[in-house]
C-alpha cells in the first residue's frame, strides 16, 4: 500500500488520533452553523408581523403601552444591536428570558427537555427495535406475502401525518377501548410531581421513588405518544433495512460466508447485517433529528410537557428569545447526533478514513 | 428432447479408488423474467480423490452453476436443481439435511471464488473471517483457531501472517486477497476444492503464482480440485483431465494431453484456436468462434453448438448427440475415467483440428452457411487461411 493511504483502523476498538481530530473539526464547524442559524432566525422573526408585546398585551392595547412594553424588552433598538446583545449573551451562556413569563430560557429548557428525551428515545427504541427486524425479515422473504404486507404497512406509516395518527391512537386506545391514557405524562389525580428532581419520570418513579405502580403509570402514559412519534422513523428504518439487506444478500462475500459452512444466523448477523448497518445508521441519525420536529406535534396532541410543546407556545406568543434559543439548542443537538453517527461509521466500516 | 447423457447407474466398482464426487444427469434451472433458463442440462461426471479436473467453457455455459449446485448454494428461490444426483464420498448431497450440508461446506468441500475483491467481507478482519470457519466446524477455542488460521496463512505464503490477521481486506492486494481466500478454503483440510475462475480477476503477473499455489497446496493437503475456467491456457499445465462445457452440457472430456493433442469436438477445436500461443509464432492468427451461445431459455432441439459449427451436418440440427467415444456410437458407460469422449455427430479429425475447419466432402448447407460467416469474418479481419 502506498504511503498516505494507510487506513486508520489497524487495531479495532481504540480511538485513533485522526478520529479525535475529526471530532474537533466537526465541532468547530458547529460555530458557523449556529451563527448562520441565529442570524436567519433573528432576521426572519422580525420580518414577521407582530411581536411578543402584542401577545402579552392583547389586541386592544394602547399605542403607549405597546411602546413601553417594547422598550422594556429592548425591541425598539435597531435589529443589529438586538442581535449583537442576544449573541453576546449566548456566548456567555445566557440564552435570554422569555418575554411572556420572565422565566429564563435555560431553566425552561432544562426542566422540559427530559420529557422530550423520554419521548424521543422511546419512539426511537420502538422504531429501531421493530424496524430493523421487520426490514430483515422482509428482505429475506423478498416479494412474499409477508414482504408485501410489510411494504404496504411501511408506506402507510411513512405517509400518515403525526397529528392524524396521534388522534387516531387516542380515539382507539383511549376513548374507545379505554386501555391507555391520552394526555399528560402521569396520572395527575393519583400522583404529584414537584419538578424538583431530574424530570426523567421513568427514572424518578422507578429508581428514586421505588414505586412500581407509578412507573407503570408513567409507561402507560408514554406508550401512545411514543407510538405516534415512532411510526414514521419505524417505517423509514424498515424500508432502508429491507433494501440494504437485499443488496448485501447478493454480495459475493455473503456467498463466501455460506460456502464456508457458517450457520445462517452467523451469516446474517456477522456478514449481512454488519454490512447493511451503514445506511441504516445514517437514516437513524437523520430520523433522530426529524424526531425533534415531530415531537412538537406529538407533544401538542398528547399535552406532553416537553420542549416541543414549549416551542409551539413560544411561536404562538411570538416569544422571540425563546424561539431563537430553542432553535439554536435543537440545532446543536441535531449536529451532535449526526456527529455521533459519523463517528460510528468508523466502527462499522474500516475503509472509512477521517480526513 | 433427447438429452446428452443418460449414463445410467454404474454401480460396478471401478478398478482403483472409488470416486470422490459423482454427478449424474444434473439439471439446474433458473426462473427469470424471460422464462425458465436451462442452465445445466444433464451433466454427468466423476472426480477421483486427489485428482485435478479442469472444467472449461465460455461464460454462461453452466460451469459455475454446476459447482454451486453441488454445494447447494444456488441463489434462492430463482435457481433450483430439477434433476440428477450428486454423490460425494458416498453421501447423497441433494438429499442431505440442511445442517449436515452446512457442516460439509467449508469442511469437506470448499470453494474459491472468482473475484477476491468482492468475495471477502469488507468490514471484518481476515483473521476473524478465517477463525469463524474453524469455529463453525470444530469446538476449538479462539487461540487454537487463531493458531490454525496462522498456519494456513503461512501455507499459502502470506508474509507477516501474524500481524496480517488484524488487517481488513482492503489492506491487501488482489493476489494477497486470493491467497487469503485459498487459506480460508483450505483451513479445514477439505477433500474437494472447487476453484471457480480463481485467476480471472487478477493481474496476469499474479495468475501463474496463484495457479501454482493451488496446485501445490492441493498436493500438500491431498485435496482434489475442480478448476473452473474459461481459459484453456489456465488448465493446460495443471490438470490431469479436462471437461469442456457448452450450453449446460459436457461436450468433450479427455485427459489434458489428449484433449490438447487430439480435440474432437468442433467447439474444443475452436477454443484451442482462440488461445494465443507463443510457441507457434506470430504467423498464426487467433481465430474467434463466430456467433453466440444459444439462448438458454429456448434450447434448440439438436446440438446446441450446431448453429455456430462448421462441421454441422443435418443430423446435428435435429438430434442432440450424447457423449460417446468419438466417431463411434459406443456409449460412455463403464469406460474408465479419462477415456476420450465427445458429444458430436461429426467429430473433427486431427488434420481438420489443425486446419481449424472441416475437410470438404461432407459439408452440409448448415456448415456452408457457418463457413461463409467465418470466411466473411476472416476477410473483414484482412486475413487469409
- Give the tens place of pLDDT for each residue, B88-110: 998 999 999 999 999 999 999 99
Minimum CA–CA partner of B170 in chain A: A351
- Whether A6 is in a domain gets the answer no
Q: Could B123 and A274 be called an inter-chain contact, meaning their C-beta atoms sit closer than 8 Å?
A: yes
**Is B215 exposed, middle or buried, given 0-12, 13-18 or 19+ CB atoms closer than 10 A?**
middle
CB A324 within 8 A of CB A41: yes
Find residue B88's DSSP bridge partners.
Answer: B21, B91
Nearest CB among B71, B119, B166 relative to A10 is that of B166
Whether B117 has a pLDDT exceeding 60, the answer reads yes
Q: Which three cell numbers stand for residue A31?
A: 460555530
Q: What is the pLDDT of residue A19?
A: 73
CB B109 within 8 A of CB B88: yes
Find residue B27's DSSP bridge partners.
Answer: B41, B83
Whether B10 has a pLDDT exceeding 90, the answer reads no
Whether B360 has a pLDDT exceeding 80, the answer reads no
Q: Which three cell numbers stand for residue A209?
A: 421513588
Minimum CA–CA partner of B196 in chain A: A256
- Whether A260 is in a domain gets the answer yes
Whether B62 has a pLDDT exceeding 50, the answer reads yes
| Domain enclosing residue A145, as ranges | 105-348
3-class secondary-structure state, position B44 = strand
- Whether A200 is in a domain gets the answer yes
Question: In CATH, what number is assigned to the domain containing residue A117?
Answer: 1.10.3720.10
DSSP state of A270: I
For residue A252, give how far its alpha carbon lies from the nearest alpha carbon of chain B (Å): 5
DSSP state of B15: S
Instruction: Select the more confidently predicted residue: A46 or B366.
Output: A46
Nearest CB among B73, B118, B125 relative to A251 is that of B118
Rounded Cα distance between A104 and A113, Å, is 14
B200 interface with A at CB cutoff 8 Å: no
3-class secondary-structure state, position A192 = coil
DSSP state of B307: G
pLDDT, mean of residues A298-320: 87
Q: From the centroid of its chain, how far is CA A273? A: 24
Q: What is the pLDDT of residue B23?
A: 93
- Whether A37 is in a domain gets the answer no
> What is the domain count for chain A?
1
Q: Which three cell numbers stand for residue A321?
A: 428569545
- Whether A218 is in a domain gets the answer yes
Whether B27 has a pLDDT exceeding 90, the answer reads yes
Sign of the C-alpha dihedral computed for residues B232, B234, B238 and B244 taken in this order: negative
Q: State the average pLDDT for chain A.
A: 84
Instruction: Select the more confidently predicted residue: A94 or B188.
Output: B188
Q: What is the pLDDT of residues A34-64, one digit of tens each?
A: 888 888 888 888 887 777 887 778 777 788 8
CB B56 within 8 A of CB B46: no
Contacts of A7 in chain B (CB under 8 A): 168, 170-171
Q: At what angle do helices B142-155 and B126-137 cross, to 10 degrees?
A: 120
CA neighbor of A304 nearest in space, from A207, A182, A165, A170: A182
pTM here?
Answer: 0.78
For residue A111, give how far its alpha carbon lies from the nearest alpha carbon of chain B (Å): 42
CA neighbor of B301 nearest in space, from B36, B1, B29, B6: B1
Instruction: Select the more confidently predicted residue: B367 or A24.
Output: A24
- Whether A51 is in a domain gets the answer no
CB interface of B with A, residues 121-160, below 8 Å: 121-125, 132-133, 136-137
Q: What is the pLDDT of residues A116-167, one digit of tens each?
A: 989 999 999 999 999 999 999 999 888 889 999 999 999 999 999 888 999 9
B217 interface with A at CB cutoff 8 Å: no
- Whether A225 is in a domain gets the answer yes
CB neighbour list of residue B111: distance below 8 Å, 6 or more residues apart:
A256, A259, B67, B71, B73, B105, B185, B193, B194, B195, B196
CB B235 within 8 A of CB B52: no
For residue B254, name the pLDDT band (cuts at 50, 70, 90): very high
- Whether A181 is in a domain gets the answer yes
3-class secondary-structure state, position A280 = helix
Q: Could B106 and A262 be called an inter-chain contact, meaning their C-beta atoms sit closer than 8 Å?
A: yes
CA neighbor of B26 nearest in space, from B247, B248, B233: B248
Q: From the centroid of its chain, how far is CA B88? A: 17
Q: Could B132 and A12 be called an inter-chain contact, meaning their C-beta atoms sit closer than 8 Å?
A: no
Q: From the centroid of its chain, how far is CA B343? A: 17
Backbone φ and ψ for B297, nearest 5 degrees, come out as: -85, -25
Q: Could A259 and B168 be called an inter-chain contact, meaning their C-beta atoms sit closer than 8 Å?
A: no
Which position has the grid cell 427486524? A133
Q: Could B113 and A252 be called an inter-chain contact, meaning their C-beta atoms sit closer than 8 Å?
A: yes
Q: At what angle do helices A274-301 and A212-249 cross, to 10 degrees?
A: 140
Nearest CB among A252, A262, A348 relative to B123 is that of A348
Q: Which three cell numbers stand for residue B313?
A: 451436418
Q: Which three cell numbers stand for residue B355?
A: 486446419
Q: What is the pLDDT of residues B305-343, one digit of tens each?
A: 998 888 888 888 898 998 888 878 777 777 888 889 999
For residue A282, name the pLDDT band (cuts at 50, 70, 90): confident
Contacts of A263 in chain B (CB under 8 A): 102, 136
Instruction: Select the more confidently predicted residue: B27 or A6.
Output: B27
| Chain A residues whose C-beta sits inside 8 Å of any chain B C-beta | 1, 7, 9-12, 250-253, 255-264, 266, 270-271, 274-275, 348-351
Which residue in A261, A268, A351 has the most chain B C-beta atoms within 10 A of its own C-beta, making it the best mutation to test that interface?
A261
Amino acid at each position: 500500500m502506498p504511503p498516505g493511504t494507510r487506513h486508520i483502523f489497524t487495531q479495532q476498538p481504540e480511538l485513533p488520533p485522526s478520529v479525535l481530530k475529526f471530532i474537533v473539526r466537526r465541532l468547530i464547524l458547529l460555530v458557523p452553523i449556529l451563527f448562520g442559524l441565529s442570524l436567519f432566525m433573528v432576521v426572519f422573526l422580525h420580518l414577521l408581523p407582530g411581536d411578543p408585546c402584542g401577545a402579552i398585551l392583547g389586541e386592544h392595547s394602547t399605542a403607549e403601552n405597546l411602546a413601553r412594553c417594547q422598550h422594556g424588552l429592548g425591541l425598539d433598538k435597531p435589529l443589529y444591536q438586538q442581535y449583537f446583545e442576544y449573541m453576546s449573551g449566548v456566548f456567555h451562556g445566557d440564552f435570554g428570558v422569555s418575554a411572556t413569563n420572565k422565566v429564563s430560557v435555560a431553566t425552561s429548557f432544562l426542566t422540559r427537555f427530559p420529557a422530550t428525551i423520554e419521548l424521543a428515545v422511546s419512539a426511537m427504541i420502538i422504531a429501531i427495535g421493530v424496524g430493523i427486524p421487520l426490514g430483515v425479515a422482509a428482505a429475506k422473504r423478498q416479494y412474499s406475502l409477508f414482504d408485501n404486507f410489510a411494504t404496504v404497512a411501511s408506506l402507510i406509516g411513512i405517509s400518515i401525518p403525526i397529528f392524524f395518527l396521534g388522534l387516531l391512537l387516542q380515539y382507539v386506545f383511549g376513548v374507545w377501548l379505554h386501555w391507555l391514557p391520552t394526555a399528560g405524562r402521569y396520572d395527575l389525580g393519583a400522583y404529584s410531581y414537584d419538578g424538583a428532581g431530574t424530570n426523567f419520570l421513568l427514572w424518578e418513579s422507578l429508581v428514586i421513588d421505588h414505586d412500581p405502580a407509578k412507573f407503570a403509570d408513567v409507561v402507560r402514559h408514554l406508550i401512545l405518544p411514543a407510538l405516534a412519534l415512532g411510526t414514521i422513523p419505524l417505517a423509514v428504518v424498515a424500508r432502508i433495512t429491507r433494501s440494504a439487506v437485499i443488496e448485501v444478500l447478493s454480495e459475493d462475500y455473503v456467498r463466501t460466508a455460506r460456502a464456508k459452512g457458517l450457520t445462517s444466523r452467523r451469516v446474517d448477523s456477522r456478514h449481512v447485517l454488519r454490512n447493511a448497518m451503514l445506511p441504516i445508521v445514517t437514516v437513524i441519525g437523520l430520523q433522530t433529528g426529524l424526531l425533534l420536529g415531530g415531537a412538537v406535534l406529538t407533544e401538542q396532541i398528547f399535552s406532553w410537557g416537553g420542549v416541543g410543546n414549549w416551542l409551539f407556545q413560544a411561536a404562538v406568543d411570538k416569544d422571540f428569545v425563546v424561539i431563537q434559543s430553542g432553535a439554536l439548542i435543537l440545532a446543536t443537538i441535531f449536529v451532535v447526533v449526526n456527529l455521533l453517527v459519523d463517528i460510528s461509521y468508523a466502527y462499522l466500516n474500516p475503509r472509512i478514513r477521517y480526513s | 428432447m433427447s438429452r446428452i447423457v443418460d449414463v445410467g447407474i454404474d454401480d460396478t466398482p471401478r478398478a482403483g479408488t472409488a470416486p470422490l464426487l459423482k454427478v449424474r444427469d444434473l439439471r439446474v434451472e433458473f426462473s427469470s423474467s424471460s422464462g425458465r433458463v436451462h442452465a445445466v442440462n444433464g451433466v454427468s461426471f466423476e472426480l477421483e480423490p486427489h485428482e485435478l479436473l479442469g472444467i472449461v467453457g465460455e461464460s454462461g455455459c453452466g460451469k459455475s452453476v454446476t459447482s454451486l449446485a453441488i454445494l447447494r448454494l444456488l441463489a434462492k428461490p430463482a435457481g433450483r436443481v430439477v434433476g440428477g444426483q450428486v454423490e460425494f464420498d458416498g453421501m447423497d448431497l441433494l438429499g442431505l439435511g440442511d445442517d449436515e450440508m452446512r457442516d460439509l461446506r467449508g469442511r469437506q468441500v470448499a470453494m474459491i471464488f472468482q473475484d477476491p475483491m468482492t468475495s471477502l467481507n469488507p468490514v471484518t478482519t481476515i483473521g476473524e473471517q478465517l477463525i469463524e470457519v474453524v469455529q463453525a466446524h470444530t469446538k476449538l477455542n479462539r487461540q487454537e483457531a487463531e493458531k490454525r488460521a496462522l498456519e494456513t496463512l503461512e501455507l499459502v505464503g502470506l508474509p507477516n501472517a501474524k500481524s496480517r490477521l488484524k488487517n481488513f481486506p482492503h489492506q491487501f492486494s488482489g493476489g494477497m486477497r486470493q491467497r487469503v481466500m485459498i487459506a480460508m478454503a483450505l483451513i479445514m483440510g477439505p477433500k474437494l476444492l472447487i476453484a471457480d475462475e480463481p485467476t480471472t480477476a487478477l493481474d496476469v503477473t499474479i495468475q501463474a503464482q496463484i495457479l501454482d499455489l493451488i496446485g501445490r497446496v492441493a498436493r500438500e493437503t491431498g485435496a482434489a480440485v475442480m478448476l473452473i475456467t474459461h481459459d484453456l491456457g489456465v488448465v493446460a499445465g495443471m490438470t490431469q483431465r479436462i471437461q469442456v462445457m457448452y450450453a449446460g452440457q459436457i461436450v468433450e472430456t479427455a485427459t489434458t494431453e489428449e484433449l490438447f493433442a487430439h480435440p474432437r469436438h468442433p467447439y474444443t477445436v475452436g477454443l484451442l484456436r482462440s488461445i494465443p500461443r507463443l510457441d507457434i509464432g506470430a504467423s498464426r492468427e487467433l481465430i474467434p468462434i463466430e456467433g453466440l451461445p444459444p439462448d438458454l431459455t429456448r434450447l434448440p432441439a439438436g446440438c446446441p453448438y450446431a448453429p455456430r459449427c462448421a462441421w454441422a451436418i443435418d443430423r446435428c440440427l435435429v438430434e442432440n448427440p450424447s457423449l460417446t467415444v468419438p466417431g463411434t456410437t459406443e456409449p460412455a458407460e463403464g469406460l474408465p475415467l479419462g477415456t476420450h469422449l465427445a458429444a458430436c455427430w461429426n467429430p473433427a479429425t486431427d488434420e481438420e483440428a489443425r486446419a481449424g475447419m472441416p475437410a470438404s466432402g461432407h459439408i452440409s448447407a448448415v456448415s456452408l452457411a457457418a463457413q461463409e460467416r467465418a470466411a466473411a469474418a476472416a476477410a473483414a479481419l484482412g486475413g487469409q487461411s
